[in-house]
Amino acid sequence: MSDSLRNKSNNFKPIKFIVWLFVVSSVMFFAAFTSAYIVRRAAGNWNVFELPQVFVYSSILIVMSSVTLFVANLKAKQANIAQQKLFLWLTFLLGIAFLIAQYFAWKMLVSQGVYLTGNPSGSFLYVISGFHGLHIIAGLFILITCLIAAYSGLSQEKNLFRMEIASIFWHFIDILWIYLYLFLFLNQ
Amino acid sequence: MYNSVKKEKMEIVLNQHTEQMTHHGEHAHHDSFWTKYVFSQDHKMIAKQFLITGIVMGVMGVMMSILFRIQLGWPDKSFPLLEALLGKWAEGGRLKPEFFLAMVTIHGTIMVFFVLTAGLSGTFSNLLIPLQLGARDMASPFMNMLSYWLFFSASVVMVFSFFIETGPASAGWTIYPPLSAVPKAMSGSGLGMTLWLVSMTLFVASTLMGGINYISTVLNLRTQGMDLWKMPLTIWAFFLTAIVGLLSFPVLVSAVVLLIFDRSFGTSFYLSDIVIGGQVLPNEGGSPILFQHLFWFLGHPEVYIIIMPALGITSEVIATNSRKPIFGYHAMVYSLLGITILSFIVWGHHMFVTGMNPFIGGVFMITTLIIAVPSAVKTFNYLATLWKGNIRFTTAMLFAVGLVSFFISGGLTGLFLGNAALDINLHDTYFVVAHFHLVMGCAAICGMFSGVYHWFPKMFGRMMDEKLGYLHFWITFICAYLVFFPMHFMGLDGIPRRYYAFTEFEFMKEWLSINVIITWAAIVGALAQVAFLWNFFYSIFCGKKSEQNPWRSNTLEWTTPVEHIHGNWPGEIPTVYRWPYDYSKPGHEDDFIPQTVPHSLTMSSNLYSDLNGNEVAEKIQADWNQQHNRTVEDFH
């Protein structure tokens, strides 16, 4: 096979496109939740409660992680692998910190008397933040593939490709959380 | 002179091919049985896997329909054979009501999702997108393989639900809560419903992986010269179908996720004020209508996911076998685009009688009725393509024309059902059953059969038998009308769907005789499918060997060798110079000009509009025309 079929480098563009399409389907998934939230809220019988303060801190953490990933990408482009590794680790740890913060937010909700069961207003909060958390976990796995690329000395082309995939996905779940938080905040 | 030039050029091309083929041979892949037939990443093999799994599921779906038709035709009669076959589900030779409902549910689910979504899109998108666009394979062959195996697992789980104590899901293919949300509601709401949800989750994952791959391939891997407006209408249809799926299936997942939370974790998204056996359930504050909104946001686009690939296949088959360019190529694309967009803003017409605000009902009514416009554009374009064509009645062509017939007769009743006021009377009656079976069931399955007969030579290198094909078509066509046409009148009379025995209600009794006729027609129609099955499986092994381009078609897939090779084309991927519908072009000796033939080889038939305003080419053409005393009407 002389041309492009087995030459993976020519397959980067379609694969990147696939990631974008996955982002689109994910957007629809969460759009369904938030639309359901609005429809259900409009029907009445809706408990109103305050959002836990921790969500503010987790939002700050996730934005910071986006910044560090951006820097890591920049360092990768400059072929500064040591710095790239450092900022990748920072991103990874901020991602973990975000998950821990979300866990504390749930604990605060429970202490406020908002449970998964009961009035749907609380259930929605758990389901929405829970499925966003699953996306973060998926994002962490993608970051691991980048770390592997950086440590095993893959070709710069592949290293940059993985960084690009991770950037698309990680910035997406960052923006997604900001949207979800604002949505929940404005609908309190 | 022109002929000898053409021959010389062809010889050169052929020589190049043989050279590259020997070159290719040295690097041939050595596939084992497992990588070639089972975990294959080759789109052509995956297409066959989808098709055969789809056919197997289709056979099951048809058998279920025959079972419940027997119940509807002879509600009080005992058939000992049924008890022998189904055991406790047909005690005393009569189907149990629970089993009747399970049959209706799984028949709907299998036909809608497993046969007409995965079987149709999965087969033909996989086969044709790379072949008609000139790509070596899909954007991600690995994801493509995963897509098939997820679909296969979904099928296994769905079929497995027949073998559990409490029976399969029975809440209808739309699984409305609370019937689906409360495990105690009926026997099928327990484990059967759980398996249904697991199966559908796998199915959606499969569809999304497939669809994402199709979109990425269409946008990124077209061969040189294949711009979007040179794509065959099949590809346009598959492409837009994949977009509809990408945007709507995630919403079904959300709906199913909330349903799973209600079933298993005690939330109340869809449940409120439920009393079972005198006991009040703790759930409070949920809304079952919410589920309907989420479900139909997928559910309605889903019917277009079913019909659009069938429409695309029909466009291709009708143009090829009428030996005419498709009438209104751009209009066909824009109408598909219109259907794609409109499909997302009409879901409310399934919910007119849920207590919806009449104003919103009116909005949904208008958007629904607007869909008639692009649909009618497509229909008239099919008819105009057929008009004065040099029609060849291949089996594929018969089924394509069959689709047009069903699409018209089923589509017209859509105008009635889309009307919020009329729907009060028609909702949930046999009128609905008649409507959607004709417009998306029969029409889409005709499109699928048309595709199978047309591309069978491409898939298996052999031809299917035409005579058996005719037999298959005519019996299927006549029986389908016999089955579904009388249902319109039952619906107008107010007979509700999904009722177990017509003998139980005085006002339904007079329709029993019609039910017997329908059941007989269904049985004969189902037997006709045996002709297809025999023809299909026999021809795979013993059919007449096919030529490279048996239908004298223009599209790229017929430039690949009959014997499948990995990567589709030996040597280079062909370049595309023209649109795919140059059939019977005046001035050309053959009645077709493949997309790979450059305009420099067809001086005798070129129009100035073919030359895209290229002044040099126009000058050469003008000189040629003068030398050969050719006058062209579109000379500016």
For position B575, what pLDDT does the model report? 95
Joined together, the tokens standing for residue B461 give 């290198």
Give the B window 372-401 contacts with A, CB below 8 Å: none
Q: Is any Cβ of chain A less than 8 angstroms from the Cβ of B356?
A: no
For position A10, what pLDDT does the model report? 55
Whether the predicted pLDDT of B562 surpasses 80:
yes
For residue B301, the distance in angstroms to the closest alpha carbon of chain A comes to 14
The answer to the question of residue A5 being in a domain is no
Residue range B189-206: mean pLDDT, rounded: 95
- What mean pLDDT is reported for chain A? 90
For position B632, what pLDDT does the model report? 77
For residue A135, the distance in angstroms to the closest alpha carbon of chain B comes to 14
Q: CB–CB of B249 and A25 under 8 A?
A: yes
In this prediction, residue B630 has a pLDDT band, given cuts at 50, 70 and 90, of confident
Residue range B460-484: mean pLDDT, rounded: 96
For position B185, what pLDDT does the model report? 87
| Helix axes A12-42 and B191-220, enclosed angle (nearest 10) | 130
Residue of chain B nearest A43, judged by CA positions:
B287
Residues of A in contact with B297 (CB under 8 A): 32
For position B634, what pLDDT does the model report? 58
For position B290, what pLDDT does the model report? 93
pLDDT tens, B64-119? 999 999 999 999 899 999 999 888 899 888 999 999 999 999 999 999 999 999 99
In this prediction, residue B282 has a pLDDT band, given cuts at 50, 70 and 90, of confident
The answer to the question of residue A118 being in a domain is yes
- Is the domain B306-543 a CATH 2.102.10.10 member? no
Radius of gyration of chain A measured on its C-alpha atoms:
19
Chain A and chain B share a number of CB contacts under 8 A equal to: 123
Half-sphere exposure of B468 (CA within 13 A, CB side): 18
Q: Among B302, B133, B285, B309, which Cα is nearest to B221's?
A: B133
pLDDT tens, B159-193? 999 999 899 999 999 999 999 999 888 888 999 99
| Helix axes B443-460 and B466-492, enclosed angle (nearest 10) | 160
Residue range B392-419: mean pLDDT, rounded: 96
Reported ipTM: the value is 0.91
Burial of B277 (0-12, 13-18, 19+ CB in 10 A): exposed
Alpha carbon distance B98, A39 (integer Å)? 33
For residue B452, the distance in angstroms to the closest alpha carbon of chain A comes to 27
Give me the domain span that covers residue A97. 16-186
- CATH number, residue A78: 1.20.120.80
For position B29, what pLDDT does the model report? 54
Whether the predicted pLDDT of B23 surpasses 80:
no
pLDDT tens, B575-622? 999 999 999 999 899 999 999 999 999 999 998 888 888 899 989 999
The answer to the question of residue A23 being in a domain is yes
Q: Considering chain A, what percentage of its residues have pLDDT values greater than 70? A: 95
Whether the predicted pLDDT of B229 surpasses 80:
yes
Q: CB–CB of B285 and A4 under 8 A?
A: no
Q: Considering chain B, what percentage of its residues have pLDDT values greater than 90? A: 80
The one-letter amino acid code at B200 reads: M
CA angle B129, B532, B480 (to 5 degrees): 95
Q: Among B323, B549, B554, which Cα is nearest to B458's?
A: B549
Q: Which of B137, B140, B286 sits opposite A120 (nearest CB)?
A: B286
SS (H, E, C) B12-68: HHHHHHHHHHHHHHHCCCCCCHHHHHHCCCCHHHHHHHHHHHHHHHHHHHHHHHHHH
In this prediction, residue B513 has a pLDDT band, given cuts at 50, 70 and 90, of very high
For position A6, what pLDDT does the model report? 42
Ranges A92-96, A116-120, B4-8, B118-122: which has the least confidence: B4-8
Whether the predicted pLDDT of A33 surpasses 90:
yes
- Indicate which of B27, B262, B290 best probes the interface with A, i.e. most A CBs within 10 Å of its own CB: B290
pLDDT tens, B118-148? 999 999 999 999 999 999 999 999 999 999 9
Question: What are the start-end ranges of the H helices in chain A?
Answer: 12-42, 54-77, 81-111, 120-152, 156-186
Which run of H or E residues covers position B402? helix B395-417
For residue A139, the distance in angstroms to the closest alpha carbon of chain B comes to 18
Q: Which residue, chain included where needed, has tokens 């098709």? A: B51
For position B277, what pLDDT does the model report? 83
Alpha carbon distance B260, A123 (integer Å)? 13
Alpha carbon distance B21, B17 (integer Å)? 6
In this prediction, residue A47 has a pLDDT band, given cuts at 50, 70 and 90, of confident
Number of domains observed in the structure of chain A: 1
The one-letter amino acid code at B120 reads: L
Beta-bridge partners for B496: B429
The answer to the question of residue A3 being in a domain is no
Residues of A in contact with B213 (CB under 8 A): 18
Whether the predicted pLDDT of B1 surpasses 70:
no
Q: Which of B27, B269, B287 sits opposite A123 (nearest CB)?
A: B269
Most distant CA pair in chain A, distance: 66
For position B633, what pLDDT does the model report? 67
Q: CB–CB of B258 and A5 under 8 A?
A: no
For position A48, what pLDDT does the model report? 86
Alpha carbon distance B196, B65 (integer Å)? 19
Give the B window 181-220 contacts with A, CB below 8 Å: 208, 212-213, 215-217, 219-220
pLDDT tens, B434-458? 999 999 999 999 999 999 999 999 9
Most distant CA pair in chain B, distance: 95
Residues of A in contact with B137 (CB under 8 A): 5
For position A139, what pLDDT does the model report? 96
Whether the predicted pLDDT of B459 surpasses 80:
yes
Q: Which of B24, B143, B261 sits opposite A127 (nearest CB)?
A: B261
Joined together, the tokens standing for residue B144 give 């493509």
Residue range B325-354: mean pLDDT, rounded: 95
The number of beta carbons lying within 10 Å of the beta carbon of residue B359 is: 7
pLDDT tens, B213-228? 999 999 999 999 999 9
Strand pairing class (B279-280; B275-276): antiparallel
Whether the predicted pLDDT of A64 surpasses 60:
yes
For residue B245, the distance in angstroms to the closest alpha carbon of chain A comes to 9
Whether the predicted pLDDT of A62 surpasses 60:
yes
The answer to the question of residue A2 being in a domain is no
Q: CB–CB of A24 and B286 under 8 A?
A: no
pLDDT tens, A134-149? 999 999 999 999 999 9
Q: Return the SS3 of B247.
A: helix
* Cα B379 from chain centre: 17
Whether the predicted pLDDT of A7 surpasses 70:
no
Name the interface residues of A facing B (CB cutoff 8 Å).
Answer: 1-5, 11, 13-15, 17-18, 21-22, 24-26, 28-33, 35-36, 39-40, 43, 45-46, 116-120, 123-124, 127, 131
pLDDT tens, B517-556? 999 999 999 999 999 999 999 999 999 999 999 999 999 9
In this prediction, residue B30 has a pLDDT band, given cuts at 50, 70 and 90, of low
Q: CA–CA distance from B263 to each of A119, B181, B343 (Å)?
A: 15, 5, 30
More confident residue, B24 or B60: B60
More confident residue, B12 or B340: B340
In this prediction, residue B8 has a pLDDT band, given cuts at 50, 70 and 90, of very low
Radius of gyration of chain B measured on its C-alpha atoms:
26
Q: Considering chain B, what percentage of its residues have pLDDT values greater than 70? A: 95
pLDDT tens, A138-181? 999 999 999 999 999 888 889 999 999 999 999 999 999 999 99
pLDDT tens, B284-304? 888 899 999 999 999 999 999
The answer to the question of residue A173 being in a domain is yes
Residue of chain A nearest B245, judged by CA positions:
A25
The answer to the question of residue A6 being in a domain is no
Residue range A57-64: mean pLDDT, rounded: 96
Whether the predicted pLDDT of B635 surpasses 70:
no
Give one DSSP letter per residue of B358-396, joined into a string. Answer: HHHHHHHHHHHHHTHHHHHHHHHHHHHHHTT------HH
